Amino acid sequence: MVYSNLWHIFFSFLFFNYLLYTFYNKYKRGGYYITKKDWIKYIFLFILFGTLGGGEGDYYHYKEIIEKPYSSMDLFFYTGIEKQYIYLSYYVGGNYNLWRFVLFSIQFIGFGWFLYKAKMNTYPVLLSFTSFCLVTSVYGRVFWGSIYFFLGTYLLLEKKNPLYLLAIACCYISHTSNIILIVLLPLAFIKIKKWHLIVILLLFGTLVAIFKEMFLDFLNSGGFEAEEAEHLNDRLQSYGNREATGYFGQSLGENLGFALRYIPQLSILFLALYMSFKYNNIPRSIRGIINISTGLLILSLIILVASIGGGTIFYRILGMTMLPVSLLLPYMKDSGFIKKKRYNTFIYLFILCAEYGYLKDMFYAFANGNY
């Protein structure tokens, strides 16, 4: 494992808290809609955070990959991360900061355009997004596609805009794991009720056992047959060979670390989604995104308990869930579905989880001598 540099994590920690302070201060003073000029400034700050910030090991893991010298022949035969990232590395001459700048410009400009067009250019939205998933959004490739998936889902359900196909395509090419999002897209068209969730909870143990058996049978049968799925099959085999999630049956400190970081997040995500099923007058586009988010959260819990993927698939899918919920909460607050006090409590708890994550990363960097 490649551990991040202590001073890089500390810089990212300060940058993250500067953004939090900025948005919270505006929100506390009653700021709501953000002017176009300030909106552009904040999106640029997100791009800068994505370029220079980070925290966990993936920042330096990608740095190792991107700064390797690649020939034009490597572009055809490279079998590590998706080839488009190697193409970009080749064309920016292995400049890692430039590589990240291009990727996060694509991510956050698209994200900012979507929120602005949806009239979600508000301080509650930016505060919620920053608290819930800004840090997660710059860790790895999965999140880059999640933004475009939910953008595409909104365009499909709300606007019937054919650009949703482009957005879904951007999601698919971002990371092989994002196939999960596309598979769950039909949930957007199904009417899910609270009693369905209660039944799922009652049958949760059975669902875990069935899922694990089906997953292992799928791997034993060779996975997907299409040649284009070779990379995906390799990744699934890798996940299947990992014996445990890394969260259960470990040391007391590791179990405590999991509880401090993920139990509050899981509880808030579940509570917010469960509460949303109490209301019938939620627009179809938002309801569809809620359905997909609920499916993601349940799937992440099944994978966690089934001990599949060394914990990697669990927190990737959990990260996918954070984005839509972070946008849902301001909507629920403004619509009177939840009180401002509860909204603020959710925000504070997620901020504490993010701060804990940074402190943990700084401790590991210090303990491993990576100054």
Separation between Cα atoms, residue 259 and residue 356, nearest integer Å: 11
Q: Please tell me the predicted confidence (pLDDT) of residue 219.
A: 66
Closest CA relative to residue 262, chosen from 245, 276, 237, 278: 245
- N- to C-terminal Cα separation, the chain: 16
What phi and psi values does residue 208 have, to the nearest 5 degrees? -60, -45
Q: Please tell me the predicted confidence (pLDDT) of residue 274.
A: 86
Q: Please tell me the predicted confidence (pLDDT) of residue 232.
A: 55
Q: Is the pLDDT of residue 244 over 50?
A: no
CA 237 to chain CA mean position, Å: 23
How many other β-carbons are positioned within 10 Å of the β-carbon of residue 179? 15
Which one of 98-107, 243-252, 258-267 scores highest in mean pLDDT?
A: 98-107
Q: Is the pLDDT of residue 223 over 60?
A: no
DSSP letters, 190-248, are: S---HHHHHHHHHTHHHHHHHHHHHHHHHHHTTS--SGGGHHHHHHHHHHHT----SSS
β-bridge mates for residue 122, sequence order = 33
- Residues 166-184 have pLDDT tens digits of 888 888 888 777 888 999 9
Stated length of the chain: 371
Mean pLDDT calculated for residue range 76-99: 84
Joined tokens for residue 347: 């925000």
Q: Which amino acid is at 96?
A: Y
What phi and psi values does residue 190 have, to the nearest 5 degrees? -105, 140
Taking the CA of residue 306 as centre, how many other CA atoms within 13 Å lie in the half-sphere pointing to its CB?
26
Query: pLDDT tier at 252 (50, 70, 90 boundaries)?
Result: low
- Contact 332/238 with Cβ under 8 angstroms? no
Share of the chain above pLDDT 90, in %: 27
Q: Which amino acid is at 311?
A: G
Q: Is the pLDDT of residue 313 over 60?
A: yes
Mean pLDDT calculated for residue range 149-158: 87
Separation between Cα atoms, residue 8 and residue 361, nearest integer Å: 11
Share of the chain above pLDDT 70, in %: 85
Q: Would you call 243 exposed, middle or buried from its count of C-beta atoms within 10 A (0-12, 13-18, 19+)?
A: exposed
- Residues 50-81 have pLDDT tens digits of 998 765 657 888 888 888 887 777 777 666 67
Mean pLDDT calculated for residue range 102-123: 89
Joined tokens for residue 182: 């596309």
Q: Please tell me the predicted confidence (pLDDT) of residue 240.
A: 52
Q: Is the pLDDT of residue 126 over 50?
A: yes
3-class secondary-structure state, position 260: helix
Mean pLDDT calculated for residue range 143-156: 85
Weakest-pLDDT range from 124-128, 186-190, 231-235: 231-235
> What is the overall mean pLDDT for the chain?
83
Joined tokens for residue 368: 């491993």
Which residue stretches of the chain are H helix?
Answer: 6-28, 36-52, 58-66, 74-77, 83-91, 96-117, 123-129, 135-137, 141-154, 164-174, 179-184, 194-202, 204-220, 230-240, 252-276, 284-305, 312-334, 340-367
Separation between Cα atoms, residue 68 and residue 25, nearest integer Å: 43
What phi and psi values does residue 81 have, to the nearest 5 degrees? -70, 165
Q: Is the pLDDT of residue 15 over 90?
A: yes
Mean pLDDT calculated for residue range 113-128: 90
